[in-house]
A and B are shown apart, each in its own frame.
Chain A
Amino acid sequence: MFWKKQFPLVIVFVMGVVMAVQYFIPHSASEFVYDNYLKWGITIGIFGHILGYFSFFRVHVMKVKKKTPNWGYSLLAIFCAIGMIIVAALDGRGTGGYYMNIYLYTSAAINATVFSLLAFYISSAAYRAFRARSVQAVALLLAAIIVMLGRVPIGNYVSVWTAIGLPSTYDISQWILNVPNMAAKRAIALGVGLGSLLMTLKLILGIERTYLGNQ
């Protein structure tokens, strides 16, 4: 029980206090701790990748063995993971090689294609759902239209009212981003920052223990 419950709390408390203290004390001992923390952190993370690979293979090999639904995709995932390692090891990772070409002409192309479909979904969703049902919705709608126009060159052409000295869509969109948007973002950032600080203190002091699981 000690190793599962009290020991992690001790590690979190000690490391939390040590790292907080070292940040404010410019001493060689403090720098030694900081430097080693950085080296250890990166090294542990690299071992985490090995663990990730192990977990990946275990999950997919089990799926193939048990012939679970869609096990063919697991076989493909294993084939691709091993295949890319072999290709990189034999042919290198530079431009023009098989490794880079496989990435650019399959993975990158598929990712970009799927993501670009969003433009179509957003257009359809905007047409059906963006309704001026309330005062807030009208404000959102107007701000969205002005910022959308202000972010593209054609917005300058649409702003015919600039002839009588009124600001263009670009100017209005810059104002929206710089004033009301920034005020809201700053308030949210302050709230998140204070929340993070409180959560950190709760973790260090052992008040927040959900990361230990249900034991």
Chain B
Amino acid sequence: MNFWKKLEQLDRRIIYVIITLAVILPFFFRLGLPISISPEVKSIYDYIENLSPTDVVFISGDYDPQVDAELTPMLEALVRHCFKKNVKVIAANVYNPQGVGLVEPRLKKLAREYKKVYGVDYVFLGWKYGGTLLIMRMGEDFQGAWEVDYYNTRLEDLPLTSRIQDYDDIALVVSLTGSGAYISWIYYAYVQYGQKLAAGITAVMAADSYPYLQAGQIIGLLGGLRGAAEYEQLIGHPSLGSAGMEAQSWAHIAIIVFIILGNIGYFKIKKK
């Protein structure tokens, strides 16, 4: 068997080992690659940067553990920015009950870090059945839609949520999702109630969202780990997203090299 034939039939375990190394090693040997900021990320940053301490940002963690690595860095960067600016945060999991266990601990951790008071600076609503219906009901009667927070406290008993009646009292809704949940937010919160929206989605879905972005239906977009990393750069707090970008860089390079080698082998064999 000649070299090219061998290359084409390369054992998949070798590919797995190379990808493993490409992902793990950059966490130990960092190059400090600079990350350029895209306009879709900057626009979310600018919007939150211009909010006042009385404004409220509603973050819906519509995701599950499969996409936790991509979306939690976004959640943390957004919450950090809001807490730094003293903007109030209401977090929930409108579409995905699995997101509760991913959002609640992170929110609590950041609240401790920034010394924020529950009920005054932030509230966690958890998940409630409804999805689209819940989004629509929030536009009519926010407190009636949720009634209680995750810890079973009535919303009228919490200073932050007691003043929220509908979307008019929410400056921005951010949907963090690995599914099409952000599109439902566009259809029912933006189209019906004119609610300002932003989306944080997985890289594989980012291409789908550009029409909504250009149409102005979402004010900005965090696409995959890169979106999170860009936001971390903007708030001056490089964290999970920025650390992951180097690993992603090398993994992408490895895959591109594999594709090129595979094609060289293919053409060499075809020529013979």
- Residues of A in contact with B (beta carbons under 8 Å apart): 34-35, 38-39, 41-42, 45-46, 49, 93-95, 100, 103-104, 107-109, 111-112, 114-116, 119-120, 122-124, 126-128, 130-132, 141, 144-145, 148-149, 151-157, 170, 174, 177-178, 181-182, 185-186, 189
The answer to whether B136 touches A38, judged by C-beta atoms less than 8 angstroms apart, is: yes
Contacting residues, chain B, for A177 (C-beta < 8 A): 206-207, 210
- Please tell me which stretch of B32-40, B74-82, B157-165 contacts chain A, meaning at least 4 of its Cβ atoms lie within 8 angstroms of it: B32-40
Contacting residues, chain B, for A94 (C-beta < 8 A): 104, 150-151
Q: Write the nearest CB–CB distance from B151 to chain A, whole angstroms.
A: 7
Contacting residues, chain B, for A42 (C-beta < 8 A): 129-130, 133-134, 137
Number of interface residues of B (CB under 8 A): 65
State in angstroms the CA–CA spacing of A189 and B211 once bound together.
9
Q: Write the nearest CB–CB distance from A84 to chain B, whole angstroms.
A: 11
State in angstroms the CA–CA spacing of A157 and B15 once bound together.
24
- Residues of B in contact with A (beta carbons under 8 Å apart): 8, 10, 12, 15-16, 19-20, 23, 33-36, 38, 64-69, 98, 100-102, 104-105, 108, 126, 129-130, 133-134, 136-137, 140-141, 150-151, 203, 206-208, 210-211, 214, 223-224, 226, 245-246, 248-256, 258-259, 261-263, 266-267
With beta carbons under 8 angstroms apart, the residue of B101, B129, B210, B267 that contacts A181 is: B210
The answer to whether A112 touches B66, judged by C-beta atoms less than 8 angstroms apart, is: yes
With beta carbons under 8 angstroms apart, the residue of A34, A45, A95 that contacts B105 is: A95
A38, A100, A112 — which one has the most chain B CB atoms within 10 A of its CB? A38
Contacting residues, chain A, for B8 (C-beta < 8 A): 128
With beta carbons under 8 angstroms apart, the residue of A38, A104, A126, A155 that contacts B255 is: A126
Contacting residues, chain B, for A108 (C-beta < 8 A): 65, 68, 98, 101-102
Contacting residues, chain B, for A128 (C-beta < 8 A): 8, 262
The answer to whether A156 touches B256, judged by C-beta atoms less than 8 angstroms apart, is: no
State in angstroms the CA–CA spacing of A214 and B177 once bound together.
37
Contacting residues, chain A, for B134 (C-beta < 8 A): 42
The answer to whether A148 touches B66, judged by C-beta atoms less than 8 angstroms apart, is: no
State in angstroms the CA–CA spacing of A100 and B34 once bound together.
37
The answer to whether B101 touches A100, judged by C-beta atoms less than 8 angstroms apart, is: yes
The answer to whether B12 touches A124, judged by C-beta atoms less than 8 angstroms apart, is: yes
B16, B64, B101, B267 — which one has the most chain A CB atoms within 10 A of its CB? B101
Contacting residues, chain A, for B263 (C-beta < 8 A): 130-132, 141
Contacting residues, chain B, for A123 (C-beta < 8 A): 15-16, 19, 251, 254-255, 258
Contacting residues, chain A, for B10 (C-beta < 8 A): 127
The answer to whether B65 touches A182, judged by C-beta atoms less than 8 angstroms apart, is: no
A-B CB contact pairs (8 Å), 28 listed: A34-B140, A38-B133, A38-B140, A45-B129, A45-B130, A46-B129, A94-B151, A123-B15, A123-B19, A123-B258, A126-B255, A127-B255, A127-B258, A127-B261, A127-B262, A128-B262, A131-B263, A141-B259, A148-B256, A151-B203, A151-B226, A153-B245, A153-B249, A154-B33, A174-B38, A177-B210, A185-B208, A186-B211
Q: Write the nearest CB–CB distance from B114 to chain A, whole angstroms.
A: 16
- The chain A residue sitting closest to B35, CB to CB, is A153
The answer to whether A178 touches B210, judged by C-beta atoms less than 8 angstroms apart, is: yes
State in angstroms the CA–CA spacing of A127 and B255 once bound together.
7
Q: Write the nearest CB–CB distance from B220 to chain A, whole angstroms.
A: 14
Say yes or no: A152-B130 contact (C-beta < 8 A), given A38-B136, A103-B101: no
State in angstroms the CA–CA spacing of A45 and B33 once bound together.
49
Q: What 4 A-B pairs come out closest when comparing CB atoms?
A: A153-B33, A115-B66, A154-B249, A108-B65
- The chain B residue sitting closest to A95, CB to CB, is B105
- The chain A residue sitting closest to B256, CB to CB, is A145
The answer to whether A130 touches B68, judged by C-beta atoms less than 8 angstroms apart, is: no
The answer to whether B248 touches A152, judged by C-beta atoms less than 8 angstroms apart, is: yes
Q: Write the nearest CB–CB distance from A119 to chain B, whole angstroms.
A: 6
Contacting residues, chain A, for B15 (C-beta < 8 A): 120, 123-124, 127
- The chain A residue sitting closest to B33, CB to CB, is A153
The answer to whether A95 touches B258, judged by C-beta atoms less than 8 angstroms apart, is: no
The answer to whether B16 touches A124, judged by C-beta atoms less than 8 angstroms apart, is: yes
State in angstroms the CA–CA spacing of A169 and B100 once bound together.
38
The answer to whether A181 touches B266, judged by C-beta atoms less than 8 angstroms apart, is: no
A94, A109, A151 — which one has the most chain B CB atoms within 10 A of its CB? A151
